[in-house]
Chains A and B, each alone.
Chain A
Amino acid sequence: MWSGHFHYWIVIFLMMCGFYTALSRQNLIKQVLGLNLFQTSVFFLFISVGYVAGGTAPVVRDGFEVYVNPLPHVLILTAIVVAVATTALALALIVRIKEAYGCVEELRIHELDSAEARSVRVKDHS
């Protein structure tokens, strides 16, 4: 069971690494990195599910009996496009956040926000 399903364990390991990184890091860029790892692990899941031992590309030729279903690969191409778009938007937002706040640390941003909300006198002791 362990050896037969080892790709699932890799998927789960990657997934948890990414998930944990996305939720636990204060740095916004690291959050995006975690998100990317999380998404990539799911791509891996789809691709590995689609694999058939000894199968070939689905082109009918003599001597080949077992074919691999190409649909998961196609789905993942679409999902990769979605992930790229998400990453691009996230990075663009980070650039704007850096311009507006001067930092990309979540805690610091919240400090700045609450300082602004309380309209505290000085916020330049950074």
Chain B
Amino acid sequence: MITDHLPALLVVLPLLAAPLCWVLPGSRAAWYLAMVTAWLVLALAAAILSQVHSNGISHYAMGGWRPPWGIEYRIDLVSAYVALVIAGVAAVVLPFAGLSVASEVAADNVSGIYAAWLLSLAGLLGITVTGDVFNLFVFLEIASLAAYILVSQGRDRRALVAAFQYLVMGTIGATFLLIGIGLLYAMTGTLNMADLAGRLPGVSHTRAVHTAFAFIAVGLSIKLALYPLHRWLPNAYTQAPSAASAFLAGTSTKVAIYALIRFIYGVFGWQFVSQQGVYAGVLLVLALAAIVSGSVTALFQSNVKRLLAYSSVAQIGYIVLGVVLGTVAGLSAGLLHLFNHALIKAGLFLSVGCVFYRLGSVRLADMRGVGREMPWTTAAFVISGLSLIGVPLTSGFTSKWLLVSAVLERGWWPLALLVLLASLAALAYVWRVVEAMCFQGGERSRHPLPEAPLWLLLPTCLVAAANVFFGIYTDLNVGLAQRAAASLFGAGAMP
């Protein structure tokens, strides 16, 4: 039955469609194919989530080879949840990409963009469903290589340098991960995550296993742009084509965070990571540093895409903070913020992409007065921005609320204060953009801009509406995140 093979199809479908995009005559056909694939994948991800939700963990032996010898796809609630986020962002942003990419990328490369896009999607989804650590490394590299290509296609020549820097950092990160995996394999003789979780406690006192954790944590921290390893991110997000920025900001760092969650809770176990407080403590401090430095740096940016990129660094800090609190409440807040931040940043980057499509610039100074000319785009930006700040009735509020209460549950009220202060900084930098868009620049020389075309506006407003929807109907999402977090803790506590 085809329904037995859903986990494999989730990866195989975009993987097969990617080369087709490349060979199809005309970039328009490639765009249609990419869109159809992304929406099919979204449907698959939703089907898998409902399957896992009702039947529990789904196992799939790739090629019929039994685990732990073969590669196992193991989908629990967390995997299905993150896969749905990834597929959702890709499906919503791709309709936007058509006009936006055509206006920003050289005509010869447009088909290639969609091929790279689908390859990246295949890699990202592969990471979420796989139950094999080496397979995870391979998928991470597929996703990253495609992401380097996406970044390099920006209109400015600085995009090339940004992509190259991203490539060097990303490859170092992936190689660190590979070293860690090699050490784990040397100590346990297995690559299957569930198998590793069973065997690691027996050798967890050895220096090799501790070294392995350090390498894996640092490698993934580069990929997820945890402060101070985030240097590649602002350039990459700023220089990438608008649609690619929205896609990558919503997905690639999120999946790296998922991989970190998987390693901490599904492979090493929280007990190992929290012992002597060293590893969890280091990650906690880095998360706080990310929140502070990202928020403060974002305040002083003059390029809106760069501002959003630094804000991403801070938001990643929030997610990691939730993950390393070591409680179900913290982890579910982290997962929820992973979902919400994907929505928020996709919304913000999409509305900035609309502005770029009409204006050809995303500098604050050039964006003065855009609010009056492009009211819908501006409204979408404001709504997503409110969600970023964490205003009630937006999705950002729920996750920040949960995060703060999880921090308070541990009794760390200064941290809770810090989270709230950083939200104030978010208010300040979102306000700077909104002020420039709506309240500045009455007398300019340029002609008034028309509102963005419907193909761009529709996805943008859809994401903004989703930000409000998930802020009002919180039960759907919060319950799912809490169940996912609880299931992960069940697995991590396994002896």
Contacts and interface: CB of A to CB of B under 8 A. Distances in A.
10 contacts: A22-B172, A23-B172, A45-B179, A46-B185, A82-B141, A85-B141, A89-B145, A90-B168, A93-B163, A97-B160
A89 B164 CA distance: 9
B198 interface: no
A94 interface: yes
Contacts of B149: 89
Most interface-central of B148, B149, B161 (chain A CB within 10 A):
B161
B416 to A, nearest CB: 37
A89 B167 contact: yes
Interface of A: 19, 22-23, 28, 31-32, 35, 38-39, 42, 45-46, 49, 69, 72, 75, 78-79, 82, 85-86, 89-90, 93-94, 96-97, 100-101, 109, 113
A39 B175 contact: yes
A101 B162 CA distance: 13
A113 B185 contact: no
Given A31-B168, A86-B145, 5 more contacts: A19-B172, A39-B178, A49-B185, A90-B168, A97-B164
Pairs A-B, 5 closest by C-beta atoms: A100-B157, A49-B186, A82-B141, A97-B160, A93-B164
A96 B134 contact: no
Given A42-B175, A42-B178, A45-B179, A113 B141 contact: no
B182 A35 contact: no
A79 B164 contact: no
A75 B185 CA distance: 11
A120 B186 CA distance: 56
B464 to A, nearest CB: 32
Given A42-B182, A72-B185, A86-B145, A35 B171 contact: yes
A31 B185 CA distance: 29
A113 B175 contact: no
A35 B185 CA distance: 23
A41 B483 CA distance: 42
Contacts of B164: 28, 90, 93-94, 97
Interface string B398-428: 0000000000000000000000000000000
Interface in B48-67: none
A22 B145 CA distance: 18
Contacts of A78: 134, 138
B312 interface: no
Contacts of B175: 38-39, 42
Contacts of B372: none
B395 interface: no
Nearest to B138: A78
A84 to B, nearest CB: 11
Interface string B170-200: 0110110011001001100100000000000
A23 B148 CA distance: 18
Contacts of A42: 175, 178-179, 182
Given A46-B182, A78-B138, A86-B145, A93 B172 contact: no
Interface in B458-487: none
Contacts of A79: 137, 178
Contacts of B179: 42, 45
Contact of B161 (A32, A45, A109): A109
Given A31-B168, A93-B160, A113-B161, A85 B182 contact: no
Interface in B123-144: 134, 137-138, 141
Contacts of B167: 86, 89-90, 93
Contact of B138 (A28, A82, A90): A82
B132 to A, nearest CB: 11
Contacts of B134: 75, 78
Most interface-central of A72, A89, A97, A109 (chain B CB within 10 A):
A89
A113 B158 contact: yes
A94 B167 CA distance: 11
Contacts of A35: 168, 171-172
Contacts of A89: 145, 148-149, 167
A75 B138 CA distance: 10
Contacts of B148: 89, 93
A97 B161 contact: yes
A109 B277 CA distance: 43
